[in-house]
Structure 1
Amino acid sequence: MRADKQGPHRVAFEHNKKTILKTQSVCGICGQPVDKQLKAPDPMSPVIDHMIPVSKGGHPSAMDNLQLAHWSCNRQKSDKLFVEKEEPKVIGNRNLPQSIKWINYKAR
């Protein structure tokens, strides 16, 4: 069993879960509002998601590793890590994709 389901992290996880359910209202994965009235079989019901999955080394009960999510969003995310693609700070010629090999270009 996972560390947040048993052992010393169980109490901390349950405490943080209650805090998140009180304070957060938006899915941390899709950004849409979460209806906290919905219950478990509903795909849009609220769950607590580990941002860094426990299987990938994420802390099982740390508040900064937990977020509110829809059940279906959490299932789709599974144990994947979300990595933000960093945009270049300055857009210039060096950041543009190469659309032509200029080495092969011959002047007329």
Structure 2
Amino acid sequence: MERSDTVGRNRPDQDGTHRLAFERNKKKIFATQEVCGICGKPVDFSYKYPHPLSACIDHIIPIAKGGHPSDMDNLQLAHWTCNRMKSDKLVRGKGPQKSTEILSNRVLPHSIDWIKYRHGKS
């Protein structure tokens, strides 16, 4: 499978028809949420991108999987690294599930303790 140079570009939440609604909802989420919707740990807003624990917005159902680009019900606060690890996956919680029901996306493993992480040092 060949990847196109345009993969990830022209997303409606970044430069299309949903840009303004996405930005408006992002501000609301940053003002009202404090916990990463993926890992369940607090988000420290003093960390700024590109810090791995900086705040970002996660699409609960990824746009690539048919999720709405700017609907508030499809957006949640996340750590940048959690969002990168989740990527465009649909993650389900534990227990009995229906095949189309997404129960939770807080089950991703943390392979690195980012608070103790120092770039370039082992």
TM-score normalised by length of structure 1 = 0.78
Shift of 1:82: 1.5
Shift of 1:52: 0.2
Residue 84 (str. 1) matches residue 93 (str. 2): yes
Cα distance in structure 1, aligned partners of 2:12 and 2:95: 32
Query: Percent identity at matched positions?
Result: 64
**Higher helix content, 1 or 2:** 1
Stretches (4+) displaced over 6 A: none
C-alpha deviations, 1:14-35, integer Å up to 9, x for none? 0000000000000000000000
* 1:12 match: secondary structure: helix
CA RMSD of aligned residues (A): 1.3
Partner of 2:25: 16
Q: How many residues align?
A: 88
Q: Any gaps of 5 or more consecutive residues in structure 1?
A: 89-108
* 1:15 match: secondary structure: helix
Q: Any gaps of 5 or more consecutive residues in structure 2?
A: 1-9, 98-122
Cα distance in structure 2, aligned partners of 1:87 and 1:58: 23
Query: Computing the radius of gyration over CA atoms, which structure comes out larger, 1 or 2?
Result: 1
> Given residue 59 of structure 1, which amino acid in structure 2 is its aligned partner?
H
TM-score normalised by length of structure 2 = 0.69
